[in-house]
Structure 1
């Protein structure tokens, strides 16, 4: 198993706290495996096997437990009376009125409850409605480059990064030994499952061709400022009329299913969120190659996508910055403060370096500012702006 200490440490931090731990994320990103690793950690810390119950509701073995009362009774019957019990339920959305079982287990002082769900109806906000005030959500992404790199024997970090960009960050891809055909087929299975189960079925979308046109447009435009009108105009120019409200619904569904992530724009001078012209990023660059093939694109936008997801993994709230007529790639906020990031493939050209630095130079506060590039020069500073190699930053 690929070690994922970021998430394990988060789970350990909430261990035995009277909160339901909900693990979310796109299908096949490793949620179930994370539960297995966490259970191993519990055993290492002295928890006995009898104290752990693990139920995957997509396993036919548990087909009789999709009724919430039967699920509750089954778990309750296997609890150890005088010790803390750790209960893990995968794909809880398969149980109608699952919150009733969760509530019943939550009020027990000797139950620590962990859930996963892949249903976008739940992920788009129903957790808060159904389990209000009683849960904490831990969002899982496909592998970071650091996690991916740790699973490869090579010491060549540049070659590993190239493979990371060209293949996929979904964990199982590492078992396919860099076989491009097998990886393509595997990504096709993920795409079909997510689109068919979590988007089309749950949102009751009838026109699959129109949905896929929007998906391909958004995939081709990662890191570009997007508007519903622009997308609609593009569809019309290609002979496919889609109402703006339909496009908006499609994009919301893709975000709910964690295929896309939306980065709102933030006005640095006005200190306010802007309501239009957001950017969108894809959960996995491998899916982009699956959908579009090896079409030429701005390498900088692919690197932006990687950095955006990594900032989310590290716990930041991430925005696209607007500072007058300049754009800051990312404003990253956390409880520890604010950081600013520019991302570029290379800044060896003096004019490119000047352009990338100008956006950060205009920010007058004293928060950390970073320029991330693929250039191999030693890390340097430009009037307080730290220039760091992207690979080194990802491996921090």
Structure 2
């Protein structure tokens, strides 16, 4: 499979060279973390005065290093005194006691350390506990629309958006010809393996049927306001008994594995966060189609999911906006920048346009407001609100506010 130069992520890795942190590449299974490490190694080989020690625990060549003393000794024996030493370790969780070796190597201040691993062992919440030194996390998402088009050498984002919605951003699926085989790979090799190996394995879950039903419910309700209490009530109608605490724990596990992302609600007028009701988005929208089928495509909610992941990919912190009885799909914040964004599949008739634009018009502050839809035309302004074709926005090269 041809490697796509994922330049944004690669640049993030380049920018960390020389920093004292342990660099940890995280993200959902099969999103391209290992390939990114290979691209980084290729870059390092073009630089002067570098010594690269690359260990890939996917290969049996390194199975003798599956204990932390052996791993540390292997690395120390290959250190160069006259060069900058880069340690790249893929699937590090396959080494027993790996954190002891990494902490020891980091404490010596002689290595630049970059690692990837299973979500079960490298959760964002666990990094500070695992590693006594500082960590820097590079979070990798599945392919964006831009990367999808680049991989397939496509030019027209208007026409290719539909195929991206159906096929998604999991690069391993692109090797399969039929959509049925693509979905089989996504469902079996990616999502089911993620749930079975991570959640069922690490968390020792016994009620597998409940987890299965919960996954289906969340997938069927992506971008809908959801509360744990409502989920419990809906599951009870299918004669599935579960308390809110258990459901809450299972959802936390799903989010910790990067299968779903939880977005909290924010009261724009009261400037406070709202509890109990949230939205959930899939790491890749193809998971829903692969698992539940394509009978109900629900383009609008799929586009909202794609925009949510794209905003996170671009480094924004996301909230769902609430203003009186109106809802704004996203309040996107990055440093001192704030954006209000509404997403719609279609705004071709007056009634739909009014429904989508009115929540943005009701916001009285001066922060930029954007309506994204499949307009298939150039951007225009409506009472100060930017109306942008969604495929144009998704493939915008410049992620600055001007382009957003």
Residue equivalent to 1:279: 279
- Equivalent of 2:6 in 4, 7, 10: 4
Work out whether 1:185 is the aligned partner of 2:187: no
Q: Measure the CA separation in 2 of the matches of 1:141 and 1:47.
A: 32
The Cα of 1:100 is off from its aligned counterpart by 1.6
Partner in structure 2 of residue 221 of structure 1: 221
User: Which region of structure 1 is more displaced relative to structure 2, 245-254 or 22-31?
Assistant: 245-254
Q: Deviations 1:111-166 (Å, cap 9, x if unpaired)?
A: 10001121335305110222255111110001011111111133332332211111
Determine the structure 1 residue equivalent to 2:233: 233
Q: Match for residue 201 of structure 2? A: 201
Indicate the residue corresponding to 1:44 in structure 2. Answer: 46
Distance in 1, Cα, partners of 2:115 & 2:100 = 14
In structure 2, the partner of 1:251 is 251
Distance, in Å, in 2 between the alignment partners of 1:243 and 1:47 is 58
Q: Residues 124 and 244 (structure 1 numbering): CA distance in 2 closer, same or farther, change over 3 Å?
A: farther
Is 2:377 aligned against 1:349?
Answer: no
What residue in structure 2 maps to residue 268 of structure 1? Answer: 268
Q: CA shift at 1:383, angstroms? A: 1.4
Residues 93 and 119, structure 1, Cα contact 8 Å, conserved in 2: no
Pairing of 1:10-89 with structure 2 (within 5 A): 10-46=12-48, 48=50, 51-89=51-89
**Which runs of 5 or more structure 1 residues have no equivalent in the other structure?**
none
Q: Return 168-177 or 216-225, whichever deviates more.
A: 168-177
Determine the structure 2 residue equivalent to 1:212.
212
Larger displacement relative to structure 2 (161-170 or 219-228): 161-170
Measure the CA separation in 2 of the matches of 1:66 and 1:250: 31
Which residue in 1 is equivalent to 2:401?
Answer: none
Within 2, Cα distance between the matches of 1:273 and 1:121? 30
1:6-53 alpha-carbon deviations (Å, 9 max, x no partner) = 1011111111211111000011000000001111111223355xx111
- Note if contact 2:149-2:155 (Cα within 8 Å) is conserved in structure 1: no
| Pair 1:102–1:133, CA change in 2 (3 A) | closer
Q: Distance in 2 between matches of 1:233 and 1:15?
A: 50
1:4 Cα deviation after fit:
0.7
Distance 1:72 1:83 in 2: 18
Q: CA 1:390/1:335 → structure 2, altered by over 3 Å: closer, same or farther?
A: same
Which position in structure 1 is the counterpart of 2:399? none
Cα pair 1:121 1:202 within 8 Å, conserved: no
Corresponding residue SS for 2:246: helix
Is contact 2:340-2:360 (8 Å) kept? yes
Counterpart of 1:175? Answer: 175
2:119 and 2:152 map into 1 onto residues whose CA distance is 32
- Cα distance in structure 2, aligned partners of 1:132 and 1:138: 18
Q: CA offset at residue 67 of structure 1?
A: 1.4
Alignment partners' CA distance in 2, 1:154 and 1:266 = 38
Alpha-carbon distance, 1:374 to partner: 0.7
3-state SS of the aligned residue for 1:158? helix
Q: Distance in 1 between matches of 2:181 and 2:86?
A: 37
SS at match of 2:19: coil
Q: Would you say the 8 A contact 1:27–1:118 is kept in 2?
A: yes
Aligned residue for 2:96, secondary structure, equals coil
Q: For 2:124 and 2:278, how far apart are their aligned partners in 1?
A: 19
- Report the CA distance between 1:170 and its aligned residue: 0.7
Report the counterpart of residue 152 of structure 1 in structure 2. 152
Asked whether the equivalents of residues 165 and 285 of structure 1 are also in contact (C-alpha less than 8 Å), the reply is yes
Distance 2:221 2:297 in 1: 9
Root mean square deviation, CA, Å: 1.5
Number of matched residues?
393
Once the two structures are TM-superposed, the CA of residue 66 in structure 1 deviates from its matched residue by 2.0
CA deviation vs aligned residue, 1:276-330 (integer Å, no higher than 9, x gap):
1100001111111111101315321110000000000000101111111111100
Distance in 2, matches of 1:371 and 1:238, equals 38
* Structure 2: tracts of 5 or more residues without a match: 397-404
Q: What SS does structure 1 have at the residue aligned with 2:388?
A: strand
Matching residue of 1:294: 294
